[in-house]
Structure 1
Amino acid sequence: MKKNYFYLAALSVMLVAGYVFYQKYQNVSDPTPPLRERQGPISTTSEWINTKAAIQGLQRKLREKPGDLKSKLLLGLAYMQEARVTGEHPYYYPAALGLIQDVLDHESQDQVLIYEATVAKATIQLSLHQFDEALETGKEALKINDHGAAVYGVLCDANVELGHYEEAITMADKMASLRPDLKSYSRVSYLREIHGDMPGAIEAMALAVAAGFPGLEQTAWATVTLGSLYEKTGDLKNAAVQFNKAIQFSPNYAFAISGLGRLAVKNKDYKTAEQLFTQAANIIPEFSFQEELVRLYQQQGKTAKAQATMVDLLNGLEEDQEAGHVVDLELANIYLELGKNPNKALEYALNEYKRRPDNIDVCKALAAIYYQKQDYATAATYLKKAKRTNSQDAGLVCLDGLVKFRLGDQANGTTLIQKSFTINPYQNTLCSAEAKNLVNKALSKL
């Protein structure tokens, strides 16, 4: 009896200890982040069936062998792609980053694995707009392997976003020399665009599309980006061709659907535009689709719809912020253009300026904000930095003309405004609306 009692007592102690251990550590374990079921049209595709099977296979491997670093890296990469496809950035990017950081923390001797994980980490940091961190991570990857094209891609992107444009060109050239493909051509295209060479940008993006495999998300992205380049030059016909081409191979590609929505707005077909923006927003929770809806509702005087959509838009961006996604520039532009609140916009723009004072888009945003605050001299200061790459962005040229006009140089101001509408006659911003009125009044006095 005593012997049995002893065993029972010992077993009870072990069970209690085990329960206490479980309660203490159940929330600090590092389980594999679960895959989320897709919703809507993207949940019924063969691509989702294949993706789901592949991810579940990786998860099964990790349950059987938690120390399988290669499977953990592949799962992280799969979650990065899932973020792109679904728009569920607040969930998938932190999940992917956690997996990849765990790979790096194990300090494997496999240098290929460490290089790929380091590049992946930098890519996620870029997606989260953590550009300084991405640059440093990219430099760490370069120390491991300076012959891989991918590392030059992340270094190019980080330098672009930080406003280090000469360095970005060097990185893009190096990438293209190592691997001339969709990823390198698309970076060359963007650098040509911000340096004012729109024909060259279109040419390079067309090469990117040609280098892609039809039906892949990356190819659809490049095709839509090519369409957007045509759109920026006022060539709506060719823009539509590219958006429809993307939809032909990827029927639920929300960015192509939204692109057709923008073209419908330009053609004053507001009913179709609303349907297309709503369709895109129902596929993935991308803030730019809601932004377009708010702008459209405001343009039509649908105040209640505009306000409700604006609330959803801001709530979504707040969720992104909480997940580590820096969206201060996006918020600055939204509060200026849609919220008509330059003071609130300025708070966010200055936050972004502290991080990357040399970026031309950040400087352009500040110039537009100070213009709306009627501080034209300060606007001109930021415009000087925004124009230093000779970008031929119609909005930037228009803003430059407005500032010159307000500072007394009406002749050059008028010329620049007219030039901006030659570049893109379909501008639809606060500045473009005011610019049209100013030029019409000035010309009527002649």
Structure 2
Amino acid sequence: MKKNYFYTASLVLLVIAGIVLFQKYQNQSKPIPPLRERQGPISTTSEWLNTKAAIQGLQRKLREQPGDLKSKLLLAFAYMQEARVTGEHPYYYPAALQLVEEILDREPDDQVLMYEATVAKATIQLSLHQFAKALKTGKAALEINDRGAAVYGVLCDANVELGHYEEAIAMADKMASLRPDLKSYSRVSYLREINGDMPGAIEAMQLAVDAGFPGLEQTAWVTVTLGSLYEKTGDLKSAEAQYNQTLAQSPNYAFALGGLGRLAVKQKDYQTAEKLFTQAAGIIPEFSFQEELVRLYQQQGRTLKAQATMEDLLKGLEEDQEAGHVVDLELANIHLHLGKDPAKALLYALKEYHRRPDNIDVCKALAEIYYQKRDYRTAATYLKKATRTSSQEASLVCLEGLITYHLGDQVQGAHLIQKSLVLNPYQNTTLSTEGQQLVNKAISKI
């Protein structure tokens, strides 16, 4: 009897101790990820002063009230935006994800908060290229609220990246019907682009630009994207106008500087191009600017400079991988185009293919890798998947022409190559150069 009483008393004490510990620590969480000081030109703007003050206010509030989940979500949003502005993806996206996970772990009764936090998680997963996870998280958000436009945006993006293009179109249409704005128009534009409707893509992206507020990062992004659409069609004058418009509103917007750098390369003004790419890379650590510099140095025969920049580029992408940012497709293209190493490129491309075998960009990369390895039949199998949306992207059409030519249909192959050069006469790649040579050879035989 005494023994049973002892066990009962011990159990009661354990329960009481557990309740006390729960009450003591229920509002405690991991340390708040600190804000990092910006570097370079973006550290001297009034926008940065306002952003820093707002973030520091949220951090102070969370130190005083660790259980304030709404402030925690606002801080996560701020860090997601800071990742976009600064390019410090390896730090800010994991930091934002930590904050969002802490909110979702609490399972708050506030369904609006749960929905917004779940959408935020899916958005971060998309930014980290964790596309299958993002789709799953987006579906969880949809179960909470099927009337919010944002959830259809993340479901559209996830389906696009996974190669589920019909589903992506349905999600974009739903988003646009709920909230026709910059975010929905830009998604409609991309879907039109990959389905071969470049005029429609430009029209939709112009709507996105018109819907934006001048000076905001999102507006700068869609304006530069509109410029890149013009650039892809060979309309360099219109592209330049969009990049300059962006810089007039956001003087340190690195992607606009990068766009002008690409135009300078096309116009063979290599000194200006190098200056612009270097300036852009000095603003944010975006790998594409280093990629452009490596390509430029290689074209100029500056081998040592190209090798050093390539090493920095690969080191940065490895840091991204370590932070959970999946960049295997980017690495595949870099090793193929800049490293001239199809074997190494294949290793990365196959890893990405196993994650998302239906994505047209992944299949295009594999088609080009096998083409470079002179395995034209295998290249053709991946090309079939890469061209199934009827994309009119010039380099894809050129690749299709080259593979068709080498598989024996030289007339159709030459026709496709010529078509790609009409779609974008300013191509300057290994494929376009080879394609032009084959076309000239075919013409000389006539």
TM range (shorter): over 0.9
CA distance in 1, matches of 2:430, 2:321: 26
CA distance in 1, matches of 2:67, 2:31: 12
- Are 1:155 and 2:186 an aligned pair? no
Aligned to 1:16: none
Work out whether residues 195 and 389 of structure 2, in 8 Å CA contact, stay in contact via their aligned partners in 1: yes
CA distance in 2, matches of 1:235, 1:409: 31
Work out whether residues 398 and 420 of structure 2, in 8 Å CA contact, stay in contact via their aligned partners in 1: yes
CA distance in 2, matches of 1:439, 1:287: 34
Work out whether residues 150 and 175 of structure 2, in 8 Å CA contact, stay in contact via their aligned partners in 1: yes
Shift of 1:437: 1.3
Aligned pairs, number: 420
State how 1:55-66 maps to structure 2 within 5 Å.
55-66=55-66
**CA distances 1:199-220 after superposition (whole Å, capped 9, x unpaired):** 0000000000000000000000
- Are 1:335 and 2:335 an aligned pair? yes
Work out whether residues 29 and 102 of structure 2, in 8 Å CA contact, stay in contact via their aligned partners in 1: no
State how 1:257-276 maps to structure 2 within 5 Å.
257-276=257-276
Structure 1 window deviating more from structure 2 (431-440 vs 197-206): it is 431-440
Q: Structure 2 counterpart of 1:190, which letter?
A: Y
Aligned to 1:206, what secondary structure does the other structure show? helix
Aligned to 1:31, what secondary structure does the other structure show? coil
**CA distances 1:134-176 after superposition (whole Å, capped 9, x unpaired):** 0000000000000000000000000000000000000000000
Q: Structure 2 counterpart of 1:309, which letter?
A: T
State how 1:45-444 maps to structure 2 within 5 Å.
45-444=45-444
Work out whether residues 397 and 420 of structure 2, in 8 Å CA contact, stay in contact via their aligned partners in 1: yes
Aligned to 1:5: none
Aligned to 2:41: 41
CA distance in 1, matches of 2:107, 2:30: 17
CA distance in 1, matches of 2:309, 2:114: 43
Aligned to 1:17: none
CA distance in 1, matches of 2:62, 2:53: 14
Structure 1 window deviating more from structure 2 (422-431 vs 89-98): it is 422-431
CA distance in 2, matches of 1:60, 1:227: 41
RMSD: 1.0
CA distance in 2, matches of 1:149, 1:176: 8
Shift of 1:29: 6.3
Q: Structure 1 counterpart of 2:38, which letter?
A: R
TM-score by length of 2: 0.93
Q: Structure 1 counterpart of 2:380, which letter?
A: A
Work out whether residues 29 and 66 of structure 2, in 8 Å CA contact, stay in contact via their aligned partners in 1: no
Aligned to 2:296, what secondary structure does the other structure show? helix
CA distance in 2, matches of 1:121, 1:434: 44
Shift of 1:440: 1.3
Q: Gaps (5+ residues) in structure 1? A: 1-24
Aligned to 2:10: none
CA distance in 2, matches of 1:255, 1:396: 23
Shift of 1:428: 1.9
CA distance in 1, matches of 2:29, 2:100: 16
CA distance in 2, matches of 1:202, 1:107: 42
CA distance in 1, matches of 2:58, 2:271: 45
Work out whether residues 367 and 379 of structure 2, in 8 Å CA contact, stay in contact via their aligned partners in 1: yes
**CA distances 1:37-59 after superposition (whole Å, capped 9, x unpaired):** 00000000011011000000000
CA distance in 1, matches of 2:272, 2:282: 15
CA distance in 2, matches of 1:427, 1:122: 36
Shift of 1:289: 0.2
CA distance in 2, matches of 1:129, 1:99: 19
Work out whether residues 360 and 387 of structure 2, in 8 Å CA contact, stay in contact via their aligned partners in 1: yes
CA distance in 2, matches of 1:364, 1:222: 25
CA distance in 1, matches of 2:437, 2:394: 17
CA distance in 2, matches of 1:428, 1:330: 19
Q: Structure 2 counterpart of 1:368, which letter?
A: E
CA distance in 1, matches of 2:322, 2:372: 30
Q: Structure 1 counterpart of 2:191, which letter?
A: L
Q: Structure 1 counterpart of 2:116, which letter?
A: E
CA distance in 2, matches of 1:366, 1:327: 15
Q: Gaps (5+ residues) in structure 2? A: 1-24
CA distance in 1, matches of 2:336, 2:188: 31
Aligned to 1:12: none
CA distance in 2, matches of 1:339, 1:216: 37
Among all aligned residue pairs of Structure 1 and Structure 2, give the percentage whose two residues are the same amino acid.
81
TM-score by length of 1: 0.93
Shift of 1:91: 0.3
**CA distances 1:311-352 after superposition (whole Å, capped 9, x unpaired):** 000000000000000000000000000000000000000000
Q: Structure 2 counterpart of 1:282, which letter?
A: G
Shift of 1:308: 0.3
Shift of 1:64: 0.4
Aligned to 2:190, what secondary structure does the other structure show? helix
